[in-house]
Amino acid sequence: MSTYSASKTVALKQSAEEGAALSGRPPSLAVSLPSGGTGVFASLAWVGFGISCLWWPDIGDWPRTHQLAAAALVIAGAIFLASVAGNRLGRFNAGLQRRAPWLLASALFLTLWEVATAKFAWLPLPFFPPPQSIIEVYTDDLPKLLDSILASVKLQLGGYLIGATVGFLTGVSIGWSRSVGYWVHPVLRFIGPLPATAWLPIAFFTFPSSWSASTFLIALATGFPVTVLTWSGVASVSNAYYDVARTLGAKPFFLVRKVAIPAALPHVFVGLFMGLGSSFAVLVVAEMIGVKAGLGWYLQWAQGWAAYANMYAALIVMSLLCSGAITLLFRTRDRLLIWQKGVVKW
């Protein structure tokens, strides 16, 4: 069988070369980059970014330009060494090669950003600060930024956990009991379509502190999608599962805990993902209005002082926090739903 495949490959290659000769085109040559080729190009792009920081003079006073260039050259060297090392680095090299196109695109974007702001001011200042000004925020204003991050994480985590827990229990109750669904459905239809931020005046009037009111709003934004998706997951469990469990003597509590909830977990995690995005949006609005610390408060403070570099630095931190939370949730889902591998395409 292998001899036949080899002869077939040779024949196809010969016929392709004959066709190319008849058409007047040269035969095609198989050109392939080495395994670390994209990483080498990414390294060169980061070198170009470092050179762009030093080649032209800054049009403003940006004290972190040389440090930014040095950091870019260090990153370029690390990418180059990892690419040249190849398979000797094992999983690290595989991860690098997978992310090499993004490293290349990031370097090109930073180069364009640097040239368009700090070097030629194609984008108006101070609305579009250069990269080194954001680095300056992380070095000079780090204590205030860390305090804001800690306050936001505490507020976000508390509200999200409360909303996810209440939403999960409510969704299971609705999906399992018709009597509970009879009373809860109208409430969900009334509250669900309204954005959580619409409840700001009522929340700040009802709750004793801005912190508790913000926690309630975050929990409300999280709880609705978790409730609806959990309810949908429990309601869509096949009756055959319950029949088999009842045949073996299962009680109602066992059916809920061991049959309904595990089968509904894929829907539950979809609701958790949706609730996470909604809760972050409400977090920013709530911190801008009520609380005295947090990233939303920091954004408002930076906007009031026209410190746009601080504002962009806070937005980057918020993006990283949200991305990290989503990654953690994905890994939790993969661990709990390991039984789905081989049944569902991941």
User: Which residues of the chain does CATH 1.10.3720.10 include?
Assistant: 141-340
pLDDT at 181 over 90: no
| Tens-place pLDDT, residues 232-257 | 888 888 888 777 888 888 787 888 88
Q: What single-letter DSSP state applies at residue 124?
A: P
Residue 97 has pLDDT above 90, yes or no: no
Q: How long, in residues, is the chain?
A: 346
The string of pLDDT tens digits covering residues 221-235 is: 999 999 999 998 888
- Scanning the chain, the segments in alpha helix (DSSP H) are 2-23, 37-55, 65-85, 91-114, 131-140, 142-176, 178-191, 200-206, 210-235, 239-247, 252-254, 261-289, 295-304, 308-336
Q: At what angle do helices 142-176 and 308-336 cross, to 10 degrees?
A: 40
Q: Which pTM value belongs to this model?
A: 0.77
41-95: pLDDT as tens digits: 888 999 999 999 888 888 878 888 888 899 999 999 988 888 777 666 667 667 7
CATH class held by domain 141-340: mainly alpha
- Residue 178 in contact with residue 189, Cβ under 8 Å? no
Answer left, alpha or beta for residue 4, where phi above 0 means left and psi between -120 and 50 means alpha.
alpha
